[in-house]
Amino acid sequence: MREQTLPQTGIEAASDGTPLRDPARGRLKYSLPKAYGHFRDLLKDKEETSHVFKIFESLPAKDFEDRVRRVTLSPEGEQLRRDEPYLPTILDDHETLRQYPEGSVAHAYCDFMEREGLSAAGLVAEAEKLGRPKYNDLIQWYANRSRDTHDLLHILTGYGRDGLGEQCVLLFTHGQQPSHGHLLIGYAGAHHIRKLHKSKAPVIKAVRQAHQTGKDCPMLLRLPIKLLLSMQLEDARAELGIPEPTWYNECHRIWREEGIDPYDLLAPVQEQAEAA
């Protein structure tokens, strides 16, 4: 690690002087009841993603700072901070991303974001609704990178933005960066879907497969995103060891046969029946 200690402060810092933790940064308090309250609010309106950030804030991982240290104070981490200081600038520049060949991760990402009406800046805006202070430290950079790569995970894993797809992406992320927030939303959300719909769809198998894939895959947070965007999507998946999401696809197939809309899973069952 290219770690140094700032003179007269004893604060861990990168070689450019950026501190690991700003001394003014407070410590988050663990509260499962608070997190579950936000989870219930999220079920009522899954588009209100500010609840997701509140859940994670309520369930901070004990080893989070150690993870930040291992990534940001390594030579590879310092190179990433120089090359990719702020991902939304890269990810929202679709004109540049479209210059990559057809079939690339970049093209798939642009197609996905444009089809869904999303942007990396939009996710930043959702996070900023919380009104939390920002700090010029390595924790801030790491947390921002975790947030900004979320939609890219949908592309690489093949999981959509439907209710089950979101649970799968969160459990894939837990496989890479364990936290109780990922577990709560991922597994509790999956069980909620099963409770809402009497179906033969293998929901739990789908989320477990996503969880295992995240464990087996190299930590995407540590990879150069610009290089990843330039790769052909199928090549990227093969190199990262990301398999076809077979159980997730099977859930979609069964739901459609049963007259259930996979993209409206969290709607009340009565609404589903009327729609059918």
pLDDT in tens, 201-235: 999 999 999 999 999 999 999 999 999 999 999 99
**pLDDT for res 265:** 77
At 9, is the pLDDT very low, low, confident or very high (cuts 50, 70, 90)?
low
Residue 149: how many other CB atoms lie within 10 Å: 19
Q: If you ran DSSP here, which 8-state letter would residue 187 be given?
A: I
User: Tokens 């439907």 — which residue?
Assistant: 162
pLDDT in tens, 132-190: 889 999 999 999 999 999 999 999 999 999 999 999 999 999 999 998 888 888 898 89
What's the token pair of residue 185? 């939303």
CA 212 to chain centre: 15
pLDDT in tens, 53-88: 888 888 888 899 999 999 999 999 999 999 999 999
CB 254 within 8 A of CB 200: yes
Distance from C-alpha of 249 to C-alpha of 162, rounded to nearest angstrom: 12
